[in-house]
Amino acid sequence: MDLRNIAIIAHVDHGKTTLVDGLLRQSGAFREHQVVNERALDRNELERERGITILAKCTSVVWRDTRINIVDTPGHADFGGEVERILNMVDGVLVLVDAAEGVLPQTKFVVGKALARGLKPIVVINKVDRADARPDAVVDEVFDLFVALDADAGQLDFPILYASGRQGWADPQLDGPRRDLAPLFDLVLAHVLPPALDADAPFAMVASILEYDNFLGRVLTGRIEQGRARVNMALKVLRPNDHTTTARTANGRVVETGRLTKLLAFRGLDRVAVEEAEAGDIVAIAGLAEATVPDTVGAPELAGPLAAIPVDPPTLAMTFRINDGPLAGRDGGKVTSRQIRERLLREAEGNIAIRVSESNETEAFEVAGRGELQLGVLIETMRREGFELTIGRPRVLTRPHPETGAREEPLEEVLVDVDEPYAGVVVDKLSRRRAELREMRPSGGGKVRLSFLAPSRGLIGYHGEFLTDTRGSGIMHRLFAGYGPWRGPIEGRHNGSLISNADGEAVHYALFYLQERGALFIGPGERVYMGMIIGEHSRDSDLDVNPLREKKLTNIRAAGKDDAMLLTPPRRMSLEQAIAYIESDELVEVTPAAVRLRKRHLDPHARRRAEQRGETAAA
């Protein structure tokens, strides 16, 4: 059967996974009456809940006797490193651009990678059904983008489709019949070349997606670059010696040898076992114990690893500690450092972007990844599995400049769209966080588009402030932009913490008087303990307070609640907000049922001693 391999790339949320639904449905990949979820490929629990794709996934459809393997990629910048590797498995790409939002940082990033690979993209102006769609202007933006990215003549001549993935249609003209996705399928067959690879050479494939499956163990997905894969064949896994080189190199080392126990091909949403597959096809294989991305898996006679895109280094780290607070072990069953270590090592096995190492602290681990969202997802997953943890303030990972050895830190491109009156405060806040304003221009409808280059360090915890400053109307996009010279100190949070000085249940009466001191994070009746942070002090210093103080009573005990004493609802933080909020002498306590903030040293005397030793400057 004829074959095409394509990837779908776009900025986050521009409709990739929804379009795949339409492609699956209209190619007859679903059985009749099969109940299929929306965004069927986003099958992990957290993907479904957050409505984002985290892991790239492969699927396939058949159109006019041609099999089309489709790889859906994650749009979120934290997972952007994967996209480049995926592009190496395909011969064509669909670039989706939201007809209202237009070209955004991740569009630029992924299109740049596709053009550099020599691919000739098909541009899909998606979500044309949106009331605020401006398809013609967006086509111009895309064209300008291709020019800015040095597209060659063939690439600049890109075919365009106007589409609504959700409504399931695509047309070459804006005023087309809007009937179905047939024009898209036909264009893929006409515009994308079939893979032309040598099926008679020894088998070799670059592992491009790694998953851990409870039944199969490590499952590696990739395109067969040469030869044929057969069930039960002997395998050799080769790793390039130097992970920083992308050149084709013969000097790899053998990581492991083994046997191909299971060969899986993609059929619609399912993976089906096959006996054999040949060069050009995208398959998943199981049977290996060590192989990872981007190793080469091949026949024993293979001389060296194939060229591969190295995995991006992590940019952000957090310390995962055991929960040693007084409420530890009440709602999570998994609390020991041994359990945490095992779980983290297992994660590092199946997740190429995560690195785990022992910490200098006792009963703690350093976990490094690509961003707040990625590490947040890991913590959230562990919490649901019954783990209890305390998490330290995130730190960016610096590196020495490859030649001069000078300290460098990760930088990000930040693109902001805000209503004009809020532009000033955004520029001011970001400048204080050492961001550099690159561009500022009106973007229509009374909005301004601002573009910054900012150290990742300064962006930790900024998003919440940004939403408050722009009354929720601002939109901010971030994209890793490489490393640059260390920008010097960045001031942290201005406000100190309100810290409980006692263990027990918070009392309405006490909270009523405490709310004059700052915003509270807890309500009456909630468990508190000595050293727990129960609110934000309105001043810049920490304050120990007593949330248990009762009203002096006569001999009649009044009801717990005093009607005249109104409490402002507490400020509740999500896990990620809490992690971004804390200072270096503070921790987030995470259990299956609660997210609490606390001081690293619970006892006020220990805290003062640590302060005198200058320990707070740990980060």
Ligand X SMILES: Nc1nc2c(ncn2[C@@H]2O[C@H](COP(=O)(O)OP(=O)(O)OP(=O)(O)O)[C@@H](O)[C@H]2O)c(=O)[nH]1
From the list 122-130, 234-242, 340-348, 577-585, the region that binds ligand X by CB under 6 A is: 122-130
- 9-68 residues near ligand X, rule: CB under 6 A: 10, 12-18, 39, 51-53
Contact 442/489 with Cβ under 8 angstroms?
Answer: no
In the complex, residue closest to ligand X by CB: 75
The verdict on 168 binding ligand X (CB under 6 A) reads: no
Q: How far apart are the first and last CA of the chain?
A: 57
- 533-552 residues near Mg ion, rule: CB under 5 A: none
C-beta closer to ligand X: residue 14 or 236: 14
From the list 7-15, 259-267, 488-496, 505-513, the region that binds ligand X by CB under 6 A is: 7-15
129 binds, among Mg ion, ligand X, none (CB under 5 to 8 A by kind): ligand X
Minimum distance from CB of 44 to ligand X (Å)? 12
Q: Distance (Å, rounded) from C-alpha 424 to C-alpha 432?
A: 12
Phi, psi of 585 (to 5 degrees): -100, 20
Q: What angle do CA 408, 413, 417 make, to 5 degrees?
A: 150
Give the DSSP H/E element, type plus range, for residue 144.
helix 135-148
Tokens 């609504």 belong to residue: 164
Q: Distance (Å, rounded) from C-alpha 207 to C-alpha 229?
A: 13
C-beta closer to ligand X: residue 75 or 121: 75
The verdict on 239 binding ligand X (CB under 6 A) reads: no
Minimum distance from CB of 126 to ligand X (Å)? 5
The verdict on 53 binding Mg ion (CB under 5 A) reads: yes
C-beta closer to Mg ion: residue 17 or 107: 17
Token pair for 515 = 């709310």
Residues 78-117, mask of contacts with ligand X (x by CB under 6 A): ----------------------------------------
Token pair for 190 = 């006409």
User: Counting Cβ atoms within 10 Å, is residue 31 exposed (0-12), middle (13-18) or buried (19+)?
Assistant: exposed
From the list 125-133, 143-151, 480-488, 492-500, the region that binds ligand X by CB under 6 A is: 125-133
Contact 453/482 with Cβ under 8 angstroms?
Answer: no
Q: What share of the chain is helix, strand, coil (3-state, %, to 5)?
A: 25, 30, 45
Minimum distance from CB of 75 to ligand X (Å)? 2
Q: Distance (Å, rounded) from C-alpha 147 to C-alpha 157?
A: 11
Give the DSSP H/E element, type plus range, for residue 367.
strand 364-369
Residues 5-34, mask of contacts with Mg ion (x by CB under 5 A): -----------xx-----------------
Minimum distance from CB of 96 to ligand X (Å)? 7
**Dihedral class, residue 444 (left if φ above 0, else alpha if ψ from -120 to 50, else beta):** left
C-beta closer to ligand X: residue 36 or 231: 36
Interface residues with ligand X (CB under 6 A) are 10, 12-18, 39, 51-53, 74-76, 126-127, 129-130, 164-166
Interface residues with Mg ion (CB under 5 A) are 16-17, 53
